[in-house]
A and B are shown apart, each in its own frame.
Chain A
Amino acid sequence: MFKEFAKGLSITLKHLLPGNCTTVQYPKQKLEMSPRFRGLHRLVPTQHREKCVACYLCPTVCPAKCITVESAENEKGEKYPKVYEIDLLRCIFCGYCVEACPVEAIEMTDAYELANFKREDFNFDKERLLKS
């Protein structure tokens, strides 16, 4: 019995030695996210404008109803999202919006540090989503 005990403890002790620790020293140290990770959304920009054409598929598919889109016509007569907002407090990070998008205009980044102090700051508008 003692033998097993020593064996177990030795594993523990081994991990206490420098270089063998599995704990990530967050926030000094950060993990690399898997490419499939669903973090903060990003609106994909193109050269002149956002890629999004305001087709309303993402707000339609969104199970949490956290996406607000308002389409309008720009100077060139193209359809664009005048308003594109995601309420992150409601978002459940399911990624359906990304899946529904016919033009690959929305994707999910690996950003997960989304804590904030004010309720309003959880409302991500178009400008913020383009920069994220």
Chain B
Amino acid sequence: MVNLTIDGKQITTSKTSTIYEAAKENDIYIPVLCYAKKLLPYGACRVCLVEVEQMKGRLIPSCTTPVTEGMVVTTMSDEIKKVRKTVLEFLLVNHVVDCPVCDKGGECDLQDLTYEYEVVTSRFEGEKFDLPKDEANPFIERNMNRCVLCGKCVRVCDEVVGYGSYSFINRGFETKIATAFDRGLDCEFCGQCVSMCPVGALLPRPFKFKARPWQLKEVNSVCGYCGNGCTVTLGVKDNEVQTIRFNDETGVNDGNLCIRGRFGYSYVNSNKRLTKPLVRRDGVLKEASWDEAIQTAVQGFKDAGEQVGIISGARLTNEELFLVKNLSKALGTENLDHSGGECYKGVTEGLLETLGVRASTATFPLVEKANAILAIRSDFYETHPVFGMVVNQAIRRNEAKLSIIADKFGKLSKLPNARTLLHKPGLELNVLNALCHVIVEEGLAKTEGLNGLDELKAALKEYSAETVAELVGGDADAIKQTARELAGAENAAIMLAYGLPYTAYSKELAIAAANLALLTGIAGRQGSGLYLCGEKANSQGAIDLAILPGGKGMGAQQMLAAAGSGELKALYLVGEDPLVSYPNRSLVEKALEKSFLVVQDIFLSPSAQMADVVFPAASFAEKAGTFTNAERRIQQLHVGIKSPGEAKTDFAILQLLLKELGTSAPATPAEAFKSLAAETPGYEMVSLDMVGPQGYVWGGDNLEPELKQLVPVAGAQPLADKYQLLVGSALYHSGTLSTHAKGPNAAVAAPYIELGREDAAELQLVNDDMLKLKTVEGEIQAKVKVDRRLPKGVFFTPYHFAELELNKIYSGQPAIAVEPVKV
């Protein structure tokens, strides 16, 4: 600790702080333009100049100067004021003063400082910038005439996002921020630069000319897309979410968001939303009253007796899931499941068998301090972009060693010094086993307290790095290197994403990852963690609340099969669209056709179109409740807008159903939370008051494993087929919901089939050609996208789009053998 004096106030602060940080901690105001909490100090704007008695004779930039013992700092004097004013005058020489039409007006740092320092005239004259605007993309509008060259966008894109879109070009007066070759911006459009820009040089295009900042009501909530659980602040005006505001004070994401969080909100305002309940009469879905819809649904459930199945989505709040569970009890059925049933088996069964827990063992911020990181499946960044940014920060700040077990390259592979352990499709398990083998063979394993080590050792015999490398087409030395790094690191992280497009051997994969975590001591060690991250906003909540088949109950796949054969009479889908997103379309189609189907959704999804009763539900922006994110952080949602038409929150709909069934239901989500906390392991001690702006992590930062059981898992054999199709997530989308949002659709509007350059050349395909993929079960066709991510013979397609009908050929297998035909 260091003692210093700022403006006569005695301050003790950590020795790594800068003067600015020390002042800020103690509520002493120093103006800044180029400083940002999450970026490294830069010192570009010279607005934060202060006087330090020990360094008399010149002014010191407070944001880059570390504190020293006995320092005496003055933050305001006539001289400082004069210099700051001059700096502002210099900035305003070329800066176009178009505040009336600039959307930043009202929250512009330069505007505020100009007002504060009363810069009403300028002693200098110069030409105003007249640079062309970049409006090529639909997300980020760049107007370099307003730029003050603070470099925040350059730094955030490099330090946090790891994309590196921007750089300073030219010299002197000509200096400006530009993209590669000064062309239009073409990046992953996370909008991090927009949130950082202190002036109006970078603005969100969807919000262009929509409103002034002071007109917006700010509502803190949680993003409804992925399991990362980023807090978002909705900017609400006229009962519409107008934009997502920058807020780095709440949550775990430090103000970082991805394209979905920042630009994917528009579906909540969509005019295609369901506004009235629908009931099928004479074969046609017709608008009905709530009373009629509820009665029809309950009558249908009653007619089915015990033969009712409930499949829930994982974007419901904990409170709503609690009611779903109550409903299943009221209906007397144990057929309850969520998200396809297969995809989360890794957490519910794999981790339970090995570690005795059903959640990630550590929190996201710990990854920032990790020395070695292993990502399983390259899609991790695509499913959880903001967690991916934390990984990037670990690499930049901490020189963490990142390895990726992947069947294709992705964003993570591009990060500095990332090592990609490339393998043929479907062989993740083999590579994980090889890593375990190396650790055991080289005596690096931390074997204390582990059960089943001998069995594992015996089973790992066939998985030496060399054998596996040969089988999967990888590099044995790279595997060994990764294993040594993981075993030797003080803090390490293993990350695996699960979700609907990754249903194959999810349990085995989790077991293999847990084996590795146990051998390296990652599981349960302070600062290290095994992360199993759910695809949807409340995947972890659904598991915590056990939205799972009870004793004799059927899982989702069995339910669909049973419904198809007529055994199950009624199905209730809450926020799920199995027809598009579940594997095996014919099975789902048959099930939905044959059963009495009740669907609760915000859009008339393909599954809802087959329903007998449709309930219009509410989006995340319209409800209160809690989500539990992939690191077990419980966070609160707040009501931002009213639901359109007669749509009700899932909570209200479930209340109505429960009442119609003659059972009581909690009156408010807060009451429901109390009841669910009492019943849910891990939540017992949690009350809503504890769920503050940063949320509340149940089980603590490091969740102690209850078991340390090694379980051998067998690897797979590669498919022999020449062409194989991988199914996964695209960065710009999440589930099927994002295909209703303008933002993600502006980036990727239609399904595509991605292939590598070699394949493209061989098949004589270029971008936007139509390609048909044939299999025994059927065929799909979509436009071609050629790039460098995929190895030869491997195709990739995202699963989000209804029109692709991917599940005609996808039935949960890790890779699909296909025959490409150019159309």
A residues whose Cβ falls under 8 Å from a Cβ of B: 53-57, 60, 71-73, 77-79, 102-103
Which residues of chain B in 267-303 are interfacial with respect to chain A, using CB atoms and an 8 Å cutoff? none
Find chain B residues with CB under 8 A from A71 CB.
Answer: 209-210
Decide: A56 and B99 in contact? CB cutoff 8 A. no
Decide: A54 and B209 in contact? CB cutoff 8 A. yes
Q: 8 shortest A-B CB distances, which residue pairs?
A: A55-B100, A79-B101, A71-B209, A56-B212, A79-B209, A102-B100, A53-B100, A53-B101
Find chain B residues with CB under 8 A from A72 CB.
Answer: 209
Find chain A residues with CB under 8 A from B133 CB.
Answer: 77
Having A53-B101, A79-B100, A79-B101, one finds 11 other A-B pairs with CB under 8 Å, namely A53-B100, A54-B209, A55-B212, A56-B211, A56-B212, A60-B215, A71-B210, A72-B209, A73-B208, A77-B133, A102-B99
12 contacts between A and B (CB under 8 A): A53-B100, A53-B101, A54-B101, A54-B209, A55-B105, A56-B215, A60-B212, A71-B209, A71-B210, A77-B135, A78-B101, A103-B100
Decide: A55 and B101 in contact? CB cutoff 8 A. yes
Bound CA span A57–B213, Å:
12
B214 within 8 A of A: yes
Which residues of chain B in 91-105 are interfacial with respect to chain A, using CB atoms and an 8 Å cutoff? 99-101, 105
| Shortest distance from the beta carbon of B374 to any chain A beta carbon, whole Å | 47
Max chain A CB contacts within 10 Å: which of B99, B208, B212? B212
Which residues of chain B in 205-227 are interfacial with respect to chain A, using CB atoms and an 8 Å cutoff? 208-212, 214-215
- Nearest A residue to B103 via CB reads A79
Q: How many residues of B contact A (CB 8 A)?
A: 13
Decide: B100 and A57 in contact? CB cutoff 8 A. yes
- Nearest B residue to A78 via CB reads B101
Which residues of chain B in 27-81 are interfacial with respect to chain A, using CB atoms and an 8 Å cutoff? none
Decide: B214 and A60 in contact? CB cutoff 8 A. yes
- Nearest A residue to B214 via CB reads A60
| Shortest distance from the beta carbon of B18 to any chain A beta carbon, whole Å | 37
Find chain B residues with CB under 8 A from A102 CB.
Answer: 99-100
Q: A73 and B209 in contact (CB under 8 A), knowing A55-B105, A56-B215?
A: yes
Find chain B residues with CB under 8 A from A78 CB.
Answer: 101
Find chain A residues with CB under 8 A from B135 CB.
Answer: 77
Bound CA span A55–B215, Å:
12
Find chain A residues with CB under 8 A from B211 CB.
Answer: 56
| Shortest distance from the beta carbon of A19 to any chain B beta carbon, whole Å | 52
Bound CA span A72–B100, Å:
13
Find chain B residues with CB under 8 A from A54 CB.
Answer: 101, 209
Bound CA span A78–B100, Å:
11
| Shortest distance from the beta carbon of B98 to any chain A beta carbon, whole Å | 9
Max chain A CB contacts within 10 Å: which of B100, B105, B209, B212? B209
Bound CA span A54–B100, Å:
8
Bound CA span A55–B212, Å:
8
Max chain A CB contacts within 10 Å: which of B101, B105, B211? B101
| Shortest distance from the beta carbon of B143 to any chain A beta carbon, whole Å | 11
- Nearest B residue to A71 via CB reads B209
- Nearest B residue to A81 via CB reads B209
Find chain A residues with CB under 8 A from B210 CB.
Answer: 71
Find chain B residues with CB under 8 A from A79 CB.
Answer: 100-101, 209
Find chain B residues with CB under 8 A from A57 CB.
Answer: 100
Find chain A residues with CB under 8 A from B214 CB.
Answer: 60
Bound CA span A79–B98, Å:
11
- Nearest B residue to A52 via CB reads B100
- The 8 A CB mask of B120-145 against A (1 = contact, 0 = none) is 00000000000001010000000000
| Shortest distance from the beta carbon of B334 to any chain A beta carbon, whole Å | 54
Bound CA span A67–B215, Å:
14
Find chain A residues with CB under 8 A from B105 CB.
Answer: 55
Bound CA span A103–B99, Å:
11
Bound CA span A79–B210, Å:
10
| Shortest distance from the beta carbon of B535 to any chain A beta carbon, whole Å | 36
Find chain A residues with CB under 8 A from B215 CB.
Answer: 56, 60
Bound CA span A53–B103, Å:
12
| Shortest distance from the beta carbon of A54 to any chain B beta carbon, whole Å | 7
Bound CA span A6–B214, Å:
68
| Shortest distance from the beta carbon of B138 to any chain A beta carbon, whole Å | 13
Bound CA span A6–B209, Å:
72
Which residues of chain B in 101-115 are interfacial with respect to chain A, using CB atoms and an 8 Å cutoff? 101, 105
- The 8 A CB mask of B182-218 against A (1 = contact, 0 = none) is 0000000000000000000000000011111011000
Find chain A residues with CB under 8 A from B209 CB.
Answer: 54, 71-73, 79
| Shortest distance from the beta carbon of A57 to any chain B beta carbon, whole Å | 7
| Shortest distance from the beta carbon of B65 to any chain A beta carbon, whole Å | 38
Find chain B residues with CB under 8 A from A53 CB.
Answer: 100-101
| Shortest distance from the beta carbon of A31 to any chain B beta carbon, whole Å | 36
- Nearest B residue to A105 via CB reads B100
| Shortest distance from the beta carbon of A56 to any chain B beta carbon, whole Å | 5
| Shortest distance from the beta carbon of B57 to any chain A beta carbon, whole Å | 42
| Shortest distance from the beta carbon of A39 to any chain B beta carbon, whole Å | 25
Max chain B CB contacts within 10 Å: which of A71, A72, A103? A71
Bound CA span A20–B389, Å:
87
| Shortest distance from the beta carbon of A50 to any chain B beta carbon, whole Å | 13
Find chain B residues with CB under 8 A from A73 CB.
Answer: 208-209
| Shortest distance from the beta carbon of B135 to any chain A beta carbon, whole Å | 7
- Nearest A residue to B215 via CB reads A56
Find chain A residues with CB under 8 A from B208 CB.
Answer: 73
Max chain A CB contacts within 10 Å: which of B99, B100, B210? B100
- Nearest B residue to A73 via CB reads B209
Bound CA span A27–B208, Å:
49
Bound CA span A84–B535, Å:
45
| Shortest distance from the beta carbon of A48 to any chain B beta carbon, whole Å | 16
Find chain A residues with CB under 8 A from B99 CB.
Answer: 55, 102
- Nearest A residue to B205 via CB reads A73
- Nearest B residue to A55 via CB reads B100
- Nearest A residue to B101 via CB reads A79
- The 8 A CB mask of B294-338 against A (1 = contact, 0 = none) is 000000000000000000000000000000000000000000000
Bound CA span A79–B203, Å:
14
Bound CA span A102–B209, Å:
17
| Shortest distance from the beta carbon of A109 to any chain B beta carbon, whole Å | 23
- Nearest A residue to B208 via CB reads A73
Bound CA span A102–B343, Å:
58
Find chain B residues with CB under 8 A from A60 CB.
Answer: 212, 214-215
Bound CA span A72–B214, Å:
18
| Shortest distance from the beta carbon of B210 to any chain A beta carbon, whole Å | 7
- Nearest A residue to B97 via CB reads A102
Bound CA span A53–B208, Å:
13
| Shortest distance from the beta carbon of B690 to any chain A beta carbon, whole Å | 39
- Nearest A residue to B141 via CB reads A77
Find chain A residues with CB under 8 A from B101 CB.
Answer: 53-55, 78-79
| Shortest distance from the beta carbon of A73 to any chain B beta carbon, whole Å | 5
Bound CA span A54–B211, Å:
10
Bound CA span A77–B209, Å:
10
| Shortest distance from the beta carbon of B131 to any chain A beta carbon, whole Å | 15
Find chain B residues with CB under 8 A from A56 CB.
Answer: 211-212, 215
| Shortest distance from the beta carbon of B95 to any chain A beta carbon, whole Å | 16
Find chain A residues with CB under 8 A from B212 CB.
Answer: 55-56, 60
- Nearest A residue to B100 via CB reads A55
| Shortest distance from the beta carbon of A75 to any chain B beta carbon, whole Å | 13
| Shortest distance from the beta carbon of B214 to any chain A beta carbon, whole Å | 7
| Shortest distance from the beta carbon of B184 to any chain A beta carbon, whole Å | 15
- Nearest A residue to B210 via CB reads A71
Bound CA span A93–B212, Å:
24
Find chain B residues with CB under 8 A from A103 CB.
Answer: 100
- Nearest A residue to B135 via CB reads A77
